[in-house]
Structure 1
Amino acid sequence: MVNAQEYIEGNFPKNVKIISAISSQLEGHLDLSEYSNLTSVDIGCNFRLTSLQLAQSTGITFISIYETGIDNFSFLAYTPNIHAICLPRPGDIIGDHTGNVYLSKALRESCQENYKLQTNLKKSNRQIQTQLDQEIKKISDNNQRIKELEQENQELQSQNKDQQNQINELSNIALPNSPYNLTKLKQEIIRLKVQELAPKVRNESTKVVKLIEEAKNKASNFSSIVDLILETQKQIVQNSETSQRDIFFGKMEAYRSILESVLSKEELQTLLNKQTEFLELEKHLKSLQL
């Protein structure tokens, strides 16, 4: 027996129009898809030849696979102009040789229709597979997001637990003989904070008053400007409206230019900074006492 592919490629160039290899003891699969110029293929009486593949061609008009093992005729889908076919079983000749042109046409069209159906089915399967892959990816992405959210939730729960433990510890420190009560704990913290801030506010107030007196004494005839610049700065600290603050800043610059003739920039800035610190402390203390 001879390998069919090796025999044909060794004896027939790719540009031939006729291949005749009757009783050549061929076996296996024969692929003639690169023989695009064929008009006739006769490979009968090769009992171990199992399958055949042809190039899509309008030139092939005759095929003989008489007494071969070929039982799949899908290759006919590529030969729209076939006139005669010798089938593997002895006596089965379809086409011009017996006048059965209709049978030849029916067989060819049946193979062609089967090929179309298979092609459409493959295309449909690819589309379905693509859609399925997309849905699977969406599900996978959603599952991943769910895992991420679960992880975030666990982290938040852990943080909340830690914060609650810290609050409990703080409650035990502030209210050692009382069960945990958020309202009481808040009140106790405020009370302690007020106790801490009240003396600081008094101390800062004393410092600010002293600095103001020193600035007024040094400013002499411009002592009233010291009051004006401090009052304007107080309004800036207490007022959050942008339009008003712009007006106050303009006044500040005017007062500053006057006072810099009798006070150094450092002295004036120290006074303003100290009053700002005092006002912020005082504001904080008042908010706790509400």
Structure 2
Amino acid sequence: MVKAQQWLDEMFPSLASKEKVKRLCIRLNEGTDKIEQTNYEFFNTKLEGELDLNEFKHLEDLAIWGNGIGTLHPITDLKINLCSKLKKLHIDCTNVSELNLRSNQETTSLTIDGCVNLLKIEGLEVLLNLQNLKLWNKNSRLEIPFGKDNWKQGLQELNRKKIHSIEEKVNKNEQILKELANMVLPNIAFDLGKLKQEIARLKLNELSPQARKKQSELEQQINDAKNKIESIPNTIIDLLLDTQKQIIGENNKNDSLVQAQLTGQLKAYQSILEKNLSKQELQALLDKKAELTQLKEQIDKLQTEIQQNE
């Protein structure tokens, strides 16, 4: 017997080898392994503990077999929440106690047989594409949100209730919006676009004076800092603050390479300026620049929203 994750990493050592798998079958009983392109079937494989298949992004068909209820497969935890393409799942005589299928909404076939210790299956109610469901009827402890025999009706009823609940929330939110619109734009027929525009305008009126104040404070801090610099060009401070602006800016937030380059530049400028300015003074400058940059981004978004709803 081997740890499930250790075995998995030995059989599929790279991410690419995991991502090409579409069908995976792990059996406890004797037999000859079968490997054909994207299909893998392993026999005489006894795994224990957690089996994490979340890197198998293209997995469509998964089966785990024990050897009767007297010889359960010792896998105790199965992680498949990132296997969004999984369509067929068959778990037979395996020692899992819980299954979470909330993210496996493409599943069309689910078979659970002989899992004597399985107590809970989460997410059955969201499997809208489910066409075939077989649950072992001898496990009276298993909790599911509907009856095993009339599961299609149960699933439809759960979805009907969910839709009804969503409709109620939509109606309630619409009423709240109408009341809010009447407060902001009295005597004007409800118009969501106009409401968003007016709220954005009110917020803009609040933030604009703040931005002007912070701009003035930053300019004063910059002048004070430049007056303390002797042998270093004043432009180093401008470069420092411009780099800080780029680091915070929306365009570069998701680019780790650019972020690393900009951070390196920032540290280099700080190192030069520390000959005449304290770390506290430099940090105060950077903090004020960050506050102003974020405030201006908010203002830009509000102005765009106002223009879009005109």
Report how far residue 158 of structure 1 moved: 2.2
Equivalent residue, structure 1, for 2:281: 267
Report how far residue 243 of structure 1 moved: 2.3
Say yes or no: does 1:243 pair with 2:263: no
2: CA distance, partners of 1:166 / 1:221: 62
2: CA distance, partners of 1:216 / 1:269: 15
Report how far residue 138 of structure 1 moved: 5.2
Equivalent residue, structure 2, for 1:33: none
1:254-284 Cα deviation digits (max 9, x unpaired)? 1111222322222211110111110111111
Report how far residue 178 of structure 1 moved: 0.5
SS in 2 for 1:221: coil
2: CA distance, partners of 1:237 / 1:192: 26
Greater share of strand: 2
SS in 1 for 2:231: helix
Equivalent residue, structure 2, for 1:166: 176
Q: Is this contact kept in 1: 2:181–2:195, CA < 8 A?
A: yes
2: CA distance, partners of 1:181 / 1:254: 52
Equivalent position amino acid for 2:220 in 1: K
1:165-197 Cα deviation digits (max 9, x unpaired)? 221111011101111011211221122122111
Aligned with 1:200 (options 210, 213, 218): 210
1: CA distance, partners of 2:152 / 2:206: 53
Greater share of helix: 1
Matches within 5 A, 1:166-245: 166-222=176-232, 223-238=234-249, 239-240=251-252, 241-245=255-259
Give the aligned length. 159
Q: Unaligned stretches of 5+ in structure 1?
A: 1-130
Q: Choose between structure 1 and 2 for higher RCO, CA contacts under 8 A separated by at least 6 residues.
A: 2
1:121-140 Cα deviation digits (max 9, x unpaired)? xxxxxxxxxx9x98x96552
Equivalent position amino acid for 2:284 in 1: T
- Whichever of the two has the greater Rg, that structure is 1
The percentage of aligned residue pairs carrying the same residue is 35
1: CA distance, partners of 2:227 / 2:158: 67
Equivalent residue, structure 1, for 2:303: 289
2: CA distance, partners of 1:158 / 1:219: 64
1:34-57 Cα deviation digits (max 9, x unpaired)? xxxxxxxxxxxxxxxxxxxxxxxx
Equivalent residue, structure 1, for 2:159: 149
2: CA distance, partners of 1:174 / 1:273: 35
Q: Unaligned stretches of 5+ in structure 2?
A: 1-133, 138-145, 305-310
Matches within 5 A, 1:49-64: none
Say yes or no: does 1:253 pair with 2:267: yes
SS in 2 for 1:220: coil
Q: 1:158 to 1:219 in 2, by over 3 A?
A: farther
Q: 1:220 to 1:142 in 2, by over 3 A?
A: farther
- Structure 1 consecutive aligned stretches of length 4 or more whose deviation exceeds 3 Å: 136-139
Q: 1:137 to 1:161 in 2, by over 3 A?
A: closer
